[in-house]
Amino acid sequence: MTGDTSAITAREITKRYGNTVAVDGLNLDVPTGVVYGFLGPNGAGKTTTMRILTGLIEPTSGDGFVDGIDCSDRGDLVDHIGLLPEEPPLYRELTGREQLHFAADLRGVPWERVEDRALDIADSLDLQADLDRRIDGYSKGMKQKTAFIQAVQHDPGVVFLDEPTSGLDPRAAKTLRELIVELASGDTTVFLSTHILPVVEEIADRVGVLYDGRLVSEGSPGGLAAAADEDGEADLEDAFLELTAEPERAWQ
Tell me, yes or no, whether 252 lies in a domain.
Answer: no
Residue 235 belongs to domain with CATH number: 3.40.50.300
Which regions of 94-171 does DSSP assign to beta strands (E)? 158-162
- Mean pLDDT calculated for residue range 175-194: 95
Contact between residue 159 and residue 33 where contact means Cβ atoms under 8 Å apart: no
221 pLDDT above the threshold of 80: yes
Domain boundaries, position 44: 8-80+156-243
DSSP-assigned letter for residue 134? B
* pLDDT at residue 238, rounded to an integer: 87
* pLDDT tops 60 at residue 30: yes
- Is residue 20 in a domain? yes
Asked whether the predicted pLDDT for residue 67 surpasses 90, the reply is: yes
In a domain, 76, yes or no: yes
Q: How far is CA 117 from the centre of its chain?
A: 20
Does the pLDDT value for residue 249 go beyond 60? Answer: no
Could you report the per-residue pLDDT of 42-60, keeping only the tens digit for each? 999 999 999 999 999 999 9
pLDDT in tens, 87-117: 888 999 999 999 999 999 999 999 999 999 9
- What pLDDT, on a 0 to 100 scale, did the predictor assign at position 246? 62
Contact assessment for residue 199 and residue 230, using Cβ atoms and an 8 Å cutoff: no
Which pLDDT does position 66 carry in this prediction?
Answer: 97
Residue 213 lies in a domain: yes
The pLDDT assigned to 213 comes to: 95
**What pLDDT band is residue 250 in, cutting at 50, 70 and 90?**
very low
Q: Identify whether 148 is part of a domain.
A: no
**Residue 113 maps to a domain:** no
34, 190 in Cβ contact below 8 A? yes
**Residue with the larger pLDDT of the pair 190 and 247:** 190
Q: Is residue 124 part of a domain?
A: no
pLDDT at 1 over 60: no
Please, are residues 164 and 192 in contact by the beta-carbon 8 Å criterion? yes
The answer to whether position 179 is within a domain reads yes
Number of domains in the chain: 1
CA 225 – CA 42 distance, rounded (Å): 21
Position 232 scores a pLDDT of 60
Query: For a pLDDT cut of 90, what percent of the chain falls above it?
Result: 83
pTM, two decimal places: 0.92
pLDDT at 225 > cutoff 90: no
Mean residue pLDDT of the chain comes to: 92
